[in-house]
Structure 1
Amino acid sequence: MMQLLISSEKDGILCPIPQHPLYSASIALHGGTLVPYFLDEASGWGLETSELKKQLEDAKSKGINVRALVVINPGNPTAQVLAEDNQWQIVDFCKQEGLVLLADEVYQENVYIPDKEFHSFKKVSRSMGYGEQDIALIPC
């Protein structure tokens, strides 16, 4: 997928920090630009769409064409689990900004917080009424 999304150093991918280095290394390998967004430790490593917007605008101001957003849920190494309403915000953000959503959900069985529940981005986007023609959702 990175090979399809990245054609030059001017192509960027929004990627969480902290993260397992698979994504930053893959972006570098394909000659793209890592556009980091920072998870909020104080809120249980939550993902704020305001942070995504800030990093997206900063990248655009530097001439970077942001092509996709990587979301790791549950997180590695943080083990956070995104709330369903937060996922709705993320899907809506990707739709509005024309970004491919790369949803890394391979750790879905690793939910260790009793009051947290895993919801797939595919399920969330479908519940929002989006089909394959509406949003590019790539499960990793």
Structure 2
Amino acid sequence: MTCSAAISACGAACKWQLALRLLSETLDQSISPDQVMYSSVISACASGSQPDRSIQLIQAMSTVSVRPNDVCYTAAALACKTAGDWPGVLHLVRGMRQHALVPSEIIYEAAVTVLEQAGKVHMPQEFLDLLGRRAEQSMSFTKTLR
């Protein structure tokens, strides 16, 4: 519990490198990290604009038998949104589907925003298939507001 709190504090202070080091030390000591610990590290990486590291952490969770939850995916999606990484958001949505998780409104908003920033007039068909009609409606609504 103390390590999770320390990692959370690292995220709040935008010290993603330290959060990663604490996670690594936890693994080296044969302590089993949980979803809370991973989501804290992913959030720290998101705060530090590290979308690739956030995605890598989600992928690494399976190696220690920890199933990513929606909090982990949301934090990583926000990192991708900040970095303008729409392929990263698409990758995360695929992962959510593989883990039988439903994308949240935050994920939809991140997807729409990052696609608009990339100059995508229409959402790629794969995105529509993964996110469903809700994402397309969100994108249309956002355009209407402008």
For Structure 1 versus Structure 2, the TM-score category normalised by the shorter chain is 0.3 to 0.5
Larger of the two Rg values belongs to structure: 2
TM-score, normalising length: structure 1: 0.39
TM-score, normalising length: structure 2: 0.38
Richer in strand (by share): 1
Q: Which has the higher contact order (CA 8 A, sep 6+)?
A: 1
Richer in helix (by share): 2
